[in-house]
Amino acid sequence: MKLYFCPQTRATRPRWMLEELGVPYELALIDVMKGEQKQESYMKVHPLGYVPALDDGGHIFFESAAIVQYLADKYADKGFAPALGSKERGEYYQWISFAMTELEPSLVTILMQTRFLPEDQRSPEAMAKAVARYKVVCAVLEERMKNREYIVGDRFSAADIVVGAVLFFGTMLGQGKEFPALQAYLGRVTARPAAKKAFA
């Protein structure tokens, strides 16, 4: 397997999953700051020129959360996903989707407003709205994580990789630090050796 990867991007999620699984893989570094993701050769891998992408025996997958779930199922014997048809499996899908559709969009807005948009294109209103929305969503997750070790069931799963990686992104942007249960959870999951390697 080959993972097309750039540090400090969504590509950390499938790398974290691969490291947890302990399976061999090749890391193909794509320097997005140099625009390598838009070169013709890589556009044949990912039609939008984004990272990550995973080549598994010539079959290309993209979308970080999809890759993580695919890998968890491919190596089902490793126990990173609840049993199919179980209530926990439903929650697993729920919280992965929650991370991608509720948590992450506000962070993308915050990132754009603080780092990428020119000063004259930044909107204090958009920034304030994104920060407020992130707090609302984190409050839901904070309630979920009170008295829990992991997001689903009583063991670490691929859902913790997706949720944990998004929360890590939020912390790097200075968001979410006022939620003690989330910060404790984030500390637990990112202390794992596989996470440390993915975020290095």
Q: Count up the domains in the chain and report the number.
A: 2
- Reported as a single tens digit per residue, the pLDDT across 141-151 is 999 999 999 99
State phi, psi for 175 to the nearest 5 degrees: -110, 145
Q: How confident is the model at residue 160 (pLDDT cuts 50, 70, 90)?
A: very high
pTM: 0.96
- Helix H or strand E segment including 166: helix 158-172
Please say which residue of 18, 48, 78 terminates a domain: 78
User: Per 3-state DSSP, what percentage of the chain is helix, strand, and coil (rounded to 5)?
Assistant: 60, 10, 30
Does one domain contain both 57 and 103?
no
The mean pLDDT of the chain is: 97
pLDDT (average), residues 81-89: 98
- Reported as a single tens digit per residue, the pLDDT across 44-66 is 999 999 999 999 999 999 999 99
The residue range of the domain holding 63 is 2-78
Does one domain contain both 92 and 149?
yes
